[in-house]
């Protein structure tokens, strides 16, 4: 370098330009290499070992409530159709037969209140609906805690053989009532067929219906989700590793994980704090905000920073955590009053809603001018979940450019800056997704 000031001694001869330019080039190269090391290489080798593996609770009993709930739906029967089905438990050892009265309806079956309000499309094809049942439990979005209604059907554990009898002329159906299927037997496919449209997906274990609505000057995308088992609700880290490194594109993550429906997570890899539990494994234990926790039995609870006792959560069977926040709906109460710059302004947002075990929703709201959408404030987003969709719990995920809802091979919403090229999407560190159990 040019050393003009030499502490009062005779000035040194300035470096010739032919020497200075290579030295500057070397400095630039060194700077780029050091940055590349910290941005790409170091995070891959940084020790991100899980802190604790939770004991996964015995899962034989978690669907017991579901079968009872299915039976409660018979108090609104309008005609005779009796189905005797076998309820298979997780272990497969305690099979029992429930005799459940089901209804034959010519109309379409009801889904959640949220779906009813936001979609013009029906949730079940008419052919299936005619053969389907109407279960009071389908209204779980309104009454997530109402699983103790009166039971009119008798439960008689007998053999493991499935048999169906019917008093009508319609073809008898053999609904698989295993898992949470007993709550919404007509939503899932009876066999292993998969029915897909550009806004819905239906298989033996999964039912998804996507709708678009205009809300608060923004396009909102609502994915109503029913799963047979919690195993269908999955999460993934970037490159399958919990690292604070190069993020992974939503298209790549969804394709790698065979996701059917995916939403961005809480960008947990980019944060340096927050409670991170994924698939019963604790990766980080530094509460920073409200924490949403999905438990082994499909229930979802939201804890404030002070309430969050990670050890107790793990002991209670915490399966996955969401650590962005804030809570939008807590125990049925819409939470408003967010005034900070990020939360009080209109932006694209993503959120997760919970109705009852097995029934959830992903919601993304466009913003920043994409598709003419201004975005939503956090209060508006909370009202969408609480007042419009009727969620019992709802939690705000990372928003802005991160807000991405992916369905069946393509982005369903219009993320900020997305021009159709997958690489124009912001990379993600984690996603929540719905997928088949392999």
Partner 1 sequence: MAVLKKIGAALAAFLPHLLLAYGLMLLTFFVINCVNTSMMFLDSRISQRFELFYAALNLLLAVICFVKKRVRIPAAAAAVIAVAFVVPVFSALKAGNAVPLDNAYFRIMALISALATLTASVMVIVKQRRDTRAAYALAGE
Judged by the rule CB under 8 A, the positions of this chain that interact with partner 1 are 1-7, 10-14, 23-24, 27-28, 30-32, 35, 38-39, 244, 246-249, 267, 270-273, 288-289, 340-342, 368, 398, 400-402, 416-417, 422-427
Shortest Cβ 4–partner 1 spacing (Å): 3
- Comparing CB distances to partner 1, the nearer of 248 and 356 is 248
Shortest Cβ 162–partner 1 spacing (Å): 48
- Comparing CB distances to partner 1, the nearer of 40 and 196 is 40
Residues near 192 by beta carbon (within 8 Å), at least 6 away in sequence: 203, 204
Shortest Cβ 233–partner 1 spacing (Å): 23
Cα–Cα distance for residue pair 346/298, rounded to 1 Å: 32
Cα–Cα distance for residue pair 117/115, rounded to 1 Å: 5
- Comparing CB distances to partner 1, the nearer of 11 and 157 is 11
Shortest Cβ 277–partner 1 spacing (Å): 18
- Comparing CB distances to partner 1, the nearer of 6 and 192 is 6
- Comparing CB distances to partner 1, the nearer of 107 and 417 is 417
Q: Count Cβ atoms below 10 Å from residue 150 Cβ, excluding itself.
A: 9
Shortest Cβ 24–partner 1 spacing (Å): 6
Shortest Cβ 13–partner 1 spacing (Å): 6
Shortest Cβ 408–partner 1 spacing (Å): 21
Using an 8 Å Cβ cutoff, are 363 and 385 in contact? Answer: yes
- Residue 225: which of 243, 200, 249 has the closest Cα? 200
- Comparing CB distances to partner 1, the nearer of 98 and 266 is 266
Using an 8 Å Cβ cutoff, are 4 and 14 in contact? Answer: yes
Cα–Cα distance for residue pair 150/158, rounded to 1 Å: 22
- Comparing CB distances to partner 1, the nearer of 171 and 421 is 421
- Comparing CB distances to partner 1, the nearer of 96 and 288 is 288
- Comparing CB distances to partner 1, the nearer of 388 and 425 is 425
Shortest Cβ 219–partner 1 spacing (Å): 19
Shortest Cβ 262–partner 1 spacing (Å): 15
Shortest Cβ 362–partner 1 spacing (Å): 20
The end-to-end CA distance of the chain, in Å, is: 62
- Comparing CB distances to partner 1, the nearer of 4 and 171 is 4
């Amino acid at each position: 370098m040019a050393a003009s000031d030499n502490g009062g001694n005779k000035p040194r001869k300035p470096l010739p330009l032919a020497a200075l330019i290579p030295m500057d080039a070397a400095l630039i190269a060194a700077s780029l290499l050091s940055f590349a090391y910290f941005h790409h290489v170091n995070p891959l080798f940084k020790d991100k070992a899980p802190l604790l593996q939770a004991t996964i609770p015995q899962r034989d009993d978690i669907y017991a409530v579901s079968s009872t709930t299915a039976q409660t739906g018979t108090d609104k029967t309008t005609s005779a159709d009796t189905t005797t089905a076998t309820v298979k438990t997780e272990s497969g050892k305690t099979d029992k037969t429930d005799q459940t009265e089901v209804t034959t309806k010519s109309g379409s079956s009801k889904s959640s209140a949220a779906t009813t309000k936001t979609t013009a499309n029906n949730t079940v094809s008419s052919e299936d609906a005619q053969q389907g049942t109407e279960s009071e439990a389908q209204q779980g979005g309104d009454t997530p805690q109402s699983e103790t209604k009166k039971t009119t059907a008798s439960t008689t554990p007998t053999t493991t053989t499935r048999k169906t009898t019917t008093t009508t002329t319609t073809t008898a159906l053999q609904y698989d009532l295993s898992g949470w299927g007993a709550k919404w037997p007509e939503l899932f496919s009876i066999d292993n067929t998969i029915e897909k449209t550009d806004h819905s997906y239906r298989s033996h274990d999964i039912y998804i219906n996507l709708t678009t609505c205009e809300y608060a000057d923004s396009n909102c995308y609502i994915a109503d989700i029913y799963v047979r088992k919690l195993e269908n609700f999955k999460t993934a880290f970037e490159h399958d590793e919990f690292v604070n490194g190069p993020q992974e594109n939503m298209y790549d993550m969804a394709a790698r994980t065979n996701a059917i429906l995916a939403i961005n997570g809480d960008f947990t890899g980019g944060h340096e704090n927050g409670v991170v539990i994924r698939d019963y494994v604790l990766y980080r234990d530094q509460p920073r905000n409200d924490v949403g926790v999905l438990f082994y039995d499909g229930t979802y609870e939201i804890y404030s920073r002070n309430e969050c006792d990670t050890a107790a959560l793990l002991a209670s069977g915490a399966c996955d955590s969401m650590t962005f926040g804030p809570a939008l709906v807590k125990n049925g109460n819409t939470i408003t009053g967010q005034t900070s710059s990020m939360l009080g302004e209109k932006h694209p947002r993503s959120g997760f809603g919970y109705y009852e075990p097995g029934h959830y929703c992903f919601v993304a709201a466009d913003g920043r001018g994409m598709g003419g959408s201004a975005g939503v404030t956090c209060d508006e987003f909370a009202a969408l979940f609480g007042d419009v969709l009727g969620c019992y719990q709802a939690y705000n995920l990372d928003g802005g450019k991160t807000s991405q809802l992916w369905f069946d091979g393509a982005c369903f919403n219009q993320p900020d800056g997305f021009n159709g090229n997958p690489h124009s999407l912001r990379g993600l560190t984690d996603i929540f997704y719905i997928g088949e159990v392999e």
